[in-house]
C-alpha cells in the first residue's frame, strides 16, 4: 500500500452519543450526512450531526469528521495507523469508524487546522477544512 492517503473533511459538526444497549434507532438520527450506529454488549453509540441530538441524550459534541477516500483492500495493513499516528503524536484525540470503502475519523473541531497540518506533514493529501 502507498502510505499517502487522500483525506477530505466531511461538512458539519458531529456528536457521539450513548444510548442503552440494544436501543432502537431514534427518529432524530435520520437525515443526510455521515452517521453511524454501533451496538456493543453494554451500550449503543450513535454518531450524527450534533444539531440533531436532543439535549437529554448523553453526548459529546464538537467533533469534525475526516474521511479517507478508498476503497482499500480489506487485508491492507497500516491504513488506520498511518492516519491516527500523526494525529495522536500531535495531541489530537480520535474516534475511528471504519466503513466498507474507507475510514471516518472524528477529531475535536477545534483541532481541524492542526490536524490538516499534521496529516500533510505525514505525506497525506489532506483537503483543507472549510
**pLDDT value at position 130?**
61
Calculate mean pLDDT across residues 60-73.
Answer: 90
- Domains parsed from the chain with CATH numbers: 6-126 (3.30.2130.10)
In the prediction, which pLDDT does 72 show? Answer: 79
Report how far residue 10's alpha carbon sits from residue 15's, in angstroms, rounded to the nearest whole number: 13
| pLDDT > 70 fraction of the chain, expressed in percent and rounded | 95
15 DSSP β-pair partners: 48
Reported pTM: 0.90
**Distance of alpha carbon 4 from alpha carbon 65, whole angstroms:** 19
Please check the confidence at residue 7 and state whether its pLDDT lies above 90: yes
- Residue 65: φ, ψ to 5°: -120, 125
Asked if the model's pLDDT at residue 77 lies above 90, the reply is no
Mean pLDDT of the chain: 92
Cβ pair 21, 41 in contact under 8 A = yes
Alpha-carbon gap, residue 56 to 74, rounded angstroms: 38
In the three-class reduction of DSSP (H, G, I as helix; E, B as strand; rest coil), residue 59 is classed as strand
Amino acid at each position: 500500500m502507498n502510505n499517502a492517503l487522500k483525506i477530505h473533511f466531511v461538512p458539519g459538526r458531529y456528536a457521539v452519543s450513548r444510548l442503552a444497549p440494544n436501543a432502537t434507532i431514534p427518529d432524530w438520527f435520520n437525515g443526510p450526512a455521515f452517521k453511524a450506529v454501533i451496538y456493543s454488549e453494554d451500550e449503543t453509540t450513535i454518531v450524527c450531526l450534533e444539531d440533531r441530538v436532543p439535549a437529554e441524550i448523553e453526548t459529546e459534541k464538537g467533533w469534525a469528521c475526516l474521511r479517507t477516500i478508498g476503497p482499500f483492500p480489506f487485508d491492507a495493513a497500516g491504513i488506520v495507523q498511518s492516519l491516527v499516528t500523526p494525529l495522536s503524536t500531535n495531541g489530537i484525540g480520535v474516534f475511528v469508524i471504519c466503513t466498507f470503502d474507507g475510514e471516518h475519523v472524528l477529531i475535536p473541531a477545534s483541532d481541524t487546522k492542526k490536524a490538516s497540518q499534521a496529516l500533510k506533514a505525514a505525506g497525506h493529501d489532506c483537503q483543507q477544512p472549510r
